[in-house]
Chains A and B, each alone.
Chain A
Amino acid sequence: MTALIMKDLYAIKGQMKSAIYLLLFFMVLAFFFDMGPIVVMFAVLFGSLQVMTSFAFDEMSKWDKYGLTLPVSRRKIIASKYVLSLLLTIGSAVSLTPIILLFNLFFRSFSTDELFSMLCVISAAALLMLSVSIPIFLKFGTQKGRFFLFAVIFIPVFFTSFISENVARFSISLPSVQTLKLLAYGAPFFMLLPLMLSYLLSIKIYANKEF
């Protein structure tokens, strides 16, 4: 399985380089315009999106029809994509930690606490997005899968912003800040369950897939 993860990491290496340049650009912007949360969001989501890129590379090169001739089981091929998802999401989140601390050193408009809880929520969102999109990509391919992905991102974003703008109208009582913070920190761990379910579903889809 390590071999397959290495293959994907080598394949997306170029994309990762561009992502780092973009991140640096956003950091400069953030420095002048005080946009810490945007940097966090961009970095984590971009990291996770590389898993999708790896699917696109596989599809373009018709890798699977070759991968299945190697001494590696279908289950391991799928497992490698999920381990890659975790590695990229956790990797992006961890590599952002010193950046967040640095931000806090220069300006204190966002507290470290606030940025870290945001990092956790975005990592959780990224894991949820991957949990939904990996089986979709396996079933429908990356071309059709993109439309589903759009829906997967757009619908929750729309729904959340609708709720948050109408909190007063619907007389929703929000939990305390302390509870929200706890929920935020726990969010990535809660997402391990959908990720596990998604993995089992993907194994089922891939077991019957032909190339």
Chain B
Amino acid sequence: MPAISIRNLQKSFPAFTLKNVSFDVQKGTIMGFIGENGAGKSTTIKCILNVLKKDSGLIKIFGYDHTKEEMQIKEEIGVVYDDLPFPETLTGSEIEKFMSRLYKNWDEPLFYQLLKQFKINPAKKVKELSRGMKMKLSIAIALAHHPKLLILDEPTSGLDPIVRDEILDLFLHFMEEEEHTILFSSHITSDLEKIADSITFIHEGEIVFSESKDVLLYEYAIWKGSQQELKDLPEDAIVRMRQGIYGVEALVRKNRIHSIFPTTRPTIEELMVFLTKGDI
């Protein structure tokens, strides 16, 4: 049973629509949710969490309908946004005091242990913390009630590489439990390259692909050459191409071209750019 299952999710705004979004996040895996700014990542996540009301579609979390069993589901979820959404006059220990009353499984010693590990002074107000510290506090809050599912909406955006790396390690540590699952939205694809098991790519409100990372990276390849050389490539192998200063680049299906054509393994970022901006 998937931890999250979405079928035909629709949500319309005057200037944007989520169109028939469907994908599954398997238990015990990290799914990277990628797409350019405004592609629909946050809208999808907010629909999953029922912060935004879906127009239609089916969303199940741990097999339960996300609105019918909302409170039970939310006991098992930890959410991290791209900022720390608490009034800035609060301190870490004040946040702990009221959050502990919200969750049945709240673990006070774990919260303070995480704060100690992150070198966060619990007496400091939110407004006195650096961006990196705020995100670490946000993660400590999300982990302190022993959730089974973490939903992360751009948790590493705006952070320096060292803090990002520390945070990714935390998520990997969380995944040591077999039952744990992460849905990780980001446009920093290198982060997902490091930790994700599967990737779902959303573009202009539609899912382009939702696939295991390894399958994706083995299925596609990047070929570089001149316009003349391009003519030698089998037409059905070319997925997208783009004109560069020094020639042509093409995203190709690896199993459709002969190994004599020199190709390189694409990064997730290259896949995203080709599928968004490349010509057919």
Residue ranges of A at the interface with B (Cβ–Cβ < 8 Å)? 2-4, 6-7, 10-14, 57-58, 60-66, 68-73, 208, 210-211
Contacts and interface: CB of A to CB of B under 8 A. Distances in A.
Interface stretch (B76-84, B110-118, B202-210, B246-254): B76-84
B46 A3 contact: no
Interface string B87-108: 1111100110111111100000
Interface residues of B, number: 34
Nearest to B104: A71
Nearest to B73: A71
Where chain B touches its partner, the secondary structure class is loop
A49 B101 CA distance: 26
A71 B50 contact: no
Given A3-B102, A10-B94, A70-B102, A61 B51 contact: no
Contact of A57 (B79, B89, B102): B89
A71 B102 contact: yes
A7 B46 contact: no
B70 to A, nearest CB: 8
A3 B90 CA distance: 13
Nearest to B101: A3
A68 B97 contact: no
B75 interface: yes
A66 B72 CA distance: 17
A11 B51 contact: no
Contacts of B79: 66, 69
Contact of A63 (B85, B89, B100): B85
A69 B87 contact: no
Nearest to A72: B102
Given A60-B87, A65-B46, A70-B74, 5 more contacts: A7-B95, A7-B98, A10-B94, A69-B77, A210-B51
A66 B50 CA distance: 11
B74 A69 contact: yes
Contacts of A63: 85-87
A3 B85 contact: no
Given A68-B50, A210-B51, A211-B46, A11 B87 contact: yes
Contacts of A6: 97-98, 101
B53 interface: yes
A71 B87 contact: no
A32 B15 CA distance: 62
Nearest to B53: A210
A69 B52 CA distance: 11
Contacts of A211: 46, 51-52
B49 interface: yes
Nearest to B142: A69
B33 to A, nearest CB: 16
B260 interface: no
Contacts of A3: 98-102
A100 to B, nearest CB: 31
Q: Which of B49, B53, B101 has the most CB of A within 10 A?
A: B101
A18 to B, nearest CB: 12
A71 B75 contact: yes
Contacts of A69: 49, 51, 74, 77, 79, 151
A24 B102 CA distance: 36
B71 interface: yes
19 contacts: A2-B101, A3-B98, A6-B101, A7-B86, A7-B98, A10-B98, A11-B90, A57-B89, A58-B87, A61-B126, A63-B87, A64-B51, A66-B81, A69-B74, A71-B72, A71-B74, A71-B102, A72-B71, A210-B52
Contacts of B75: 71
Contacts of A72: 71, 102
A4 B102 CA distance: 9
A65 B50 CA distance: 10
A73 B98 CA distance: 16
A69 B98 CA distance: 15
A71 B71 contact: yes
A116 to B, nearest CB: 34
Given A6-B98, A10-B94, A71-B75, A61 B86 contact: yes
B53 A208 contact: yes
A95 B181 CA distance: 50
A34 to B, nearest CB: 36
A71 B88 contact: no
